């Protein structure tokens, strides 16, 4: 039980800190309720229309492709940091990983997923 004492103290302090921030925000919040203060601020323009608009599926496909290659970079960075210590087997695994993602990129290019119309 002694080893969890520090963890318990940190947890209690973080909960108290969060509650303190909520109470402080409630105390210092603006009290007057008028229409202008409750309106959405959009770059100095008054909001118009509805927020429920349909996006073209190409935006979502492009975002998914971006996430795939962004995660690839995140997965290859630790490999690059300790490259000297890993050996040939790890190099071959990373090369296979890059080749698979390269095939995916060529597939996306061939299907025209990266073209903007």
Residue in the block written with tokens 């000297």: 84
C-alpha separations of 78 from 1, 41, 74, 101 in Å: 36, 41, 8, 17
CA geometry: angle at 47 spanning 41 and 48, to 5°? 175
Percent above pLDDT 90 for the chain: 24
Structure tokens at 69: 């290659």
Structure token pair of residue 109:
């290019």
Query: What pLDDT is attached to residue 18?
Result: 97
Average pLDDT of every residue of the chain? 85
In contact, 114 and 62? CB cutoff 8 Å: yes
CA–CA gap between residue 103 and residue 1 (Å, rounded): 53
Mean pLDDT along residues 3-13: 91
Q: Residue 59 and residue 47: Cα distance in Å, rounded?
A: 23
More confident position, 3 or 97? 97
Average pLDDT over residues 77-88: 85
pLDDT digits (tens, 9 = 90+) for 64-81: 888 888 888 888 888 888
pLDDT digits (tens, 9 = 90+) for 29-65: 877 777 776 776 667 676 677 777 787 888 888 888 8
Predicted local confidence at residue 1, as pLDDT: 72
In angstroms, rounded to a whole number, what is the distance separating the alpha carbons of residues 62 and 114?
Answer: 7
């Amino acid at each position: 039980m002694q080893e969890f004492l520090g963890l318990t103290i940190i947890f209690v302090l973080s909960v108290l800190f969060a509650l303190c921030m909520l109470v402080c925000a409630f105390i210092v919040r603006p009290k007057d309720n008028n229409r202008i203060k409750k309106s959405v601020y959009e770059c100095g323009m008054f909001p118009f229309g509805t927020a429920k608009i349909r996006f073209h599926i190409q935006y979502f496909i492009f975002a998914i492709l971006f996430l795939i290659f962004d995660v690839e970079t995140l997965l290859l960075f630790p490999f690059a940091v300790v490259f000297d210590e890993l050996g040939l087997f790890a190099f071959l695994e990373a090369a296979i990983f890059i080749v698979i993602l390269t095939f995916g990129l060529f597939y996306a290019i061939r299907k025209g997923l990266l073209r903007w119309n």
